[in-house]
Structure 1
């Protein structure tokens, strides 16, 4: 039976599957606030067992503690939320690797998950597992339409809600947040990249499957369809990184997601990922007059957050002693990372604002390990 092109269960299906019981189970989860606002998949012990069989882990092993909340995520709890999110069991090793990456964050920074800033977890998948489970790497990478991407990202969010208690208006105090709080998972388009993938750059083999984990604030799309020189694109990227609205702290950090067309243009000119990173690092600055105009001309002596120069807690940022009219916004090359993802159909890239450490690499990588 069809209604406006959408399939509905016919009587034969209903004889084998009690649709109304399923709906009742879904409403039960909703009534107990076990959801992100969307319906979840009911879970039984037998369906849960299929997830746990995919990893060689003790179900009671703690994947990620939240000491300040006195809560901890176990393998079993991660599996329950992955099943509720709509994952297939074969996705679960990726979910576990993602949690291992997030657990590598410095413990004091985990409070940012419930911050007014509205941050969201982002998982990036590399290696053969992308094809094995159907991770989308090309076209609509930040959008809908691909079960693996949607449900893996959602599994992280559901566990944050159900295990850590990060419900909106309660422990999650995001002022506005981001749609990425529903789900944020993508794969690097290794096949259409002229360069080494992110995980190979960081010491893994190309046939390793990995998950890189980031904490993000926003995704800013960049239209540069007609630029014909990497320097033009580089200045566009640097301007996007250095926008004053992104400057929460003394420095910022960013993940540049180059579309394949932009990556190919850079490669034709002899640029590699590190060339792109260095160009953006050196070009990403903002005038001190602009910072003063938006009330970000100084930093807090305690938090290093930007604030007006006449604020009682204000001190000069560390680069002001160098003189000059411009303030650099990246602390080091590590603060800017580059991947290639998206479709090869337009000159479109993106700058992802990260909530990273003041210095150092603003993400973690974990290897995907299954029981097979």
Structure 2
């Protein structure tokens, strides 16, 4: 099945199909300028997915060069961006060539940013292999690397030409990675689709257990929601797209506190961040305690951290807020927060008192 991201002359399709990676040569042939692709992936992807892609390309008569990078969040760095762009130039990349990002969110973010700056813009295709990247980061054109000051602070809005999603790539993922991706699935229900959150409560266990129908439904519903929001507000100018950041302001602070390491995966941080956002909304008199408890319960039932303690965080509220001050969404010294009046009723609040956030975090931690 296919979902369209409608952005005028930069519109593109998201193709979702079990086994699509084994048909990638056929499905991506229209983007094979000069009859070749340049594939960028990481070492964790090589054993299970790279062979499938290369075999498919060879069968379709498409040549490919491959650049393999280290796995992990540390790859989203100036150092690796320089390494990748130098490698792509050594391959003789031209602007009408297609760079294929095969991997999770780290590879997609890095490759997309490299494509946006190389020769002032090269074509790229996303082939996401993790649940998190399939339902979120591969769609919408946000590309970035991290800096010492924080996460995703250096980047560009740069849309892919196509997104190819094969849910069977999830079969080789560790359960922790699948759970981390599921956090972003939950997010779409919490933003503005209470019935989808109900679906998650009823079917999340099936998805995590590998049920193919549940996975396909969740991925399709998630990317359709994101495509709709991105089509309405590509660059977060109206505030509509900002809703996709639910849980991320809290979550990025938790990631910063853990050094953007495997101690806390991005999806795990977002899960805890969403639970914190709902409980903070309750503390602000916006959301009922029952709704916040329901969100916390489902996140915990999915095996994700729903509290600071479960996320391994023992820092003070003031220290966590200090991490937030580097958030790229800061405007005039104020940091917008995604809060909620209930499940499916998320909104952007630009006048949050950060001292109240710090006090809440201290109380929630205790």
Q: Same fold (TM over 0.5)?
A: no
State the TM-score, normalized to the length of structure 1.
Answer: 0.28
Higher relative helix content:
2
Ranked by relative contact order (alpha carbons within 8 Å, sequence separation 6 or more), the top structure is: 1
Computing the radius of gyration from Cα coordinates, the structure with the larger value is 1
TM-score, normalised with respect to structure 2: 0.28
